[in-house]
């Protein structure tokens, strides 16, 4: 899959964190397969190293939910565009990524997001207070290995109250596109990564 940069603009602006003038802002409008006209915004400060990325969908403004049913190795390459206000859920593994105060946008694929989740779960080992809790975390990490290595069937759900996040499918027949009601959009939370499967009952 290829994307095309339709326009690009480089600007300089004070850093919102340290107010340094050594800050650059890049803006691009890109055409993406199956999902044209995405505006990409990147801010980078060379002094304090603050970075911020985000995407704005120029073709859809409605609150949206995308569900992709991954079943094989090709499906795991499905591209995910997550804007700063997007939520990502994996129901089978009970993991959710919600937008927090410092959330930024990113582009990845299903395997890449699962690897990122796995890396963050490993950090929990250092804070485990009991052997039972540690064992539960180790089992969760091993489960993610099985999903990634064997490309086990998994659903990825992407929701965005402003319609800026999306899924670029490896197989379009496995993608569900649903317009959210205003009530559903208002229920989308702001927070951090949540691993519901690691909570004690």
Instruction: List the CATH number of the domain containing 164.
Output: 2.60.120.1040
> What is the domain-level CATH number for residue 6?
2.20.25
pLDDT at 158: 96
Whether 190 and 163 map to the same domain: the answer is yes
Domain count, the chain: 2
Whether 47 and 118 map to the same domain: the answer is no
Whether 25 and 77 map to the same domain: the answer is no
Whether 116 and 179 map to the same domain: the answer is yes
Whether 109 and 48 map to the same domain: the answer is no
Of the residues 22, 40, 59, the one at which a domain ends? 59
pLDDT at 101: 67
Whether 50 and 123 map to the same domain: the answer is no
Of the residues 59, 88, 103, the one at which a domain ends? 59
pTM of the model: 0.73
Whether 87 and 179 map to the same domain: the answer is yes
Q: Please return the burial class of 158, using the count of CB atoms within 10 Å of its CB with bins 0-12, 13-18 and 19+.
A: buried
pLDDT at 201: 43
pLDDT at 23: 84
Q: Flag residues of the chain having pLDDT under 70.
A: 1-11, 30-37, 57-60, 101, 189-201
Whether 178 and 97 map to the same domain: the answer is yes
Whether 141 and 156 map to the same domain: the answer is yes
pLDDT at 127: 83
pLDDT at 27: 80
Whether 50 and 128 map to the same domain: the answer is no
Q: Which residues pair with 81 in a beta bridge?
A: 107, 166
Of the residues 10, 35, 59, the one at which a domain ends? 59
pLDDT at 37: 67
Residue listed under structure tokens 């993608």? 175
pLDDT at 89: 96
Segments forming the whole domain that contains residue 30: 1-59
pLDDT at 126: 82
Phi, psi of 77, deg, nearest 5: -90, 0
Helix, strand, or coil (residue 122): helix
Residue from 118, 115, 35 nearest 77 by CA: 115
Whether 43 and 68 map to the same domain: the answer is no
Whether 116 and 166 map to the same domain: the answer is yes
């Amino acid at each position: 899959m290829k994307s095309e940069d339709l326009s690009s603009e480089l600007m300089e602006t004070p850093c919102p964190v340290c107010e340094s003038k050594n800050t650059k802002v890049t803006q691009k409008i890109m055409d993406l397969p199956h999902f044209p006209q995405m505006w990409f915004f990147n801010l980078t400060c060379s002094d304090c190293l603050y970075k911020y990325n985000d995407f704005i969908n120029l073709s859809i403004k409605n609150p949206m939910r995308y569900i992709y049913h991954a079943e094989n190795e090709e499906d795991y390459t499905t591209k995910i565009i997550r804007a700063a206000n997007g939520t990502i859920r994996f129901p089978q593994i009970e993991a959710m990524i919600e937008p927090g105060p410092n959330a930024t946008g990113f582009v990845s694929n299903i395997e890449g997001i699962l690897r990122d989740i796995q890396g963050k779960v490993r950090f929990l080992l250092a804070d485990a207070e009991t052997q039972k809790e540690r064992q539960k975390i180790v089992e969760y990490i091993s489960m993610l290995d099985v999903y990634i290595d064997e490309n086990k069937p998994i659903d990825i759900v992407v929701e965005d109250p402003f319609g800026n996040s999306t899924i670029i499918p490896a197989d379009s027949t496995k993608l569900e596109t649903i317009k959210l009601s205003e009530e559903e959009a208002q229920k989308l939370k702001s927070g951090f990564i949540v691993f519901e499967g690691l909570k004690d009952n």
